[in-house]
Amino acid sequence: MSVELKLDGDKLTAYLTGDIDHHTAAGMRAEIDRALRQNSIKILTLDFSGVTFMDSSGIGLVMGRQKLACELGGRCRVADPPAYISKVMKISGIGRLCEIVDTRAPVRTGSHRAGGEEQ
Amino acid sequence: MKKCINEMKLSFSAVSENEAFSRACVSSFVALLDPYISELAELKTAVSEAVTNCIVHAYRGQPGGVVWIHMRLYSDRRVYIKIRDKGCGIADIDRAMQPLFTTAPEEERAGLGFAVMESFTDQLRVRSSRQRGTTVVMEKTLSEKEKDGYSDLQDTAAGGRKLRAGTSLC
Ligand SMILES: Nc1ncnc2c1ncn2[C@@H]1O[C@H](COP(=O)(O)OP(=O)(O)OP(=O)(O)O)[C@@H](O)[C@H]1O
Ligand SMILES: [Mg+2]
């Protein structure tokens, strides 16, 4: 499957890999939504570092997950999109709806501090 | 008028599996012009938008739909791509092309396909008639080849360097 899920308390990270288009987005959506509904999630992170291609179907995927995460009392963020995907995100203005973070930034102190991942 | 140096025509069933297939075909054809990775990524994305629109909107999942792609490469490095369907057509093209306008919000469409096609190509033309179908024509002129290939800093996509997309990347 093109999405791998990692649950850490109330944080859920979805590692997306491969191409995101209309054909593949449906399966990714179903997997993420199942995990979102089964757990009480405060922060859903969509990790884009392994994504090789994305068109506007990926924007729909982010918008939809942001909406659902919000409805369930959490929020959604996007992590580490490659440059060619950042361009599509920029055009869409998705950054106004949902935080885009770079977890590969040089400053990273100890991992897994309770609730301390945000800057 | 610059000379057409290569041409291809392709038609395929309007099924979602063929979204990736059409991108692969277009990128291996464009690779003959030795484009930069960023230019190739932009063309692939624009083509994916147009083809997906045929599959999602034109035929609305009805079986038997066909998508046609016609491409030409010109001696001045211009790429011409025409993508056509014989589906339901677009009632109001100006409205359809507005960012965030979509007739399928419940399917998680963002309404950004035309905006992406517009910003990733030099020229976008759309013709449509109801019940007859839609034709999208996109043109993009690829940047000139440089002798050393690494001097232009404009391409941040490749970490400040322009990288040629080898055929292996298609
Ligand atoms: N080939 C087509 N045939 C019929 N209608 C189309 C076609 N292409 C686009 N449309 C119409 O134009 C609208 C806008 O298209 P656009 O690609 O910009 O957004 P979208 O497809 O709705 O969403 P997204 O592309 O972001 O997933 C569509 O919602 C649809 O109503
Ligand atoms: Mg579209």
Cβ–Cβ gap B115/A57 under 8 Å? no
- The fold for domain B4-144 equals Heat Shock Protein 90 (3.30.565)
From the CA of B57, how far away is ligand 1's center (Å)? 6
Residues lining ligand 1, judged by CB closer than 6 Å? A 56-57, 60; B 49, 53-54, 57-58, 85, 87-90, 96, 101-104, 109-114, 134
Is residue A70's pLDDT more than 80?
yes
Region for B152 from its dihedrals, namely left if φ exceeds 0, alpha if ψ lies in -120 to 50, beta otherwise: beta
* ipTM value: 0.86
Q: Confidence class of residue B62 from pLDDT cuts 50, 70 and 90?
A: confident
The two tokens of residue B167 are: 């055929």
Least confident residue range of A68-82, B85-99, B142-156: B142-156
> Which pLDDT band, with edges at 50, 70 and 90, does B169 fall under?
very low
Mind listing the pLDDT tens digit for each residue in A25-63?
A: 999 999 999 999 999 999 999 999 999 999 999 999 999
3-state helix vs strand vs coil in chain A, percent to 5: 40, 30, 30
Helix residue spans in chain B (DSSP H): 17-30, 37-53, 93-96, 113-120
Report all structural domains of chain A as residue ranges with CATH numbers, in order of start. Answer: 2-101 (3.30.750.24)
- Cα–Cα distance for residue pair A54/A34, rounded to 1 Å: 22
Query: pLDDT tier at B163 (50, 70, 90 boundaries)?
Result: low
CA–CA separation, A34 vs A113, rounded Å? 27
pTM: 0.89
- Which residue of B108, B109, B110 is in closest CB contact with A92? B110
Strand bridging mode B66-74 / B4-13: antiparallel
Q: Would you kindly state where each structural domain of chain B is located, as residue ranges?
A: 4-144
Asked if A9 and B10 touch (Cβ cutoff 8 Å), the reply is no
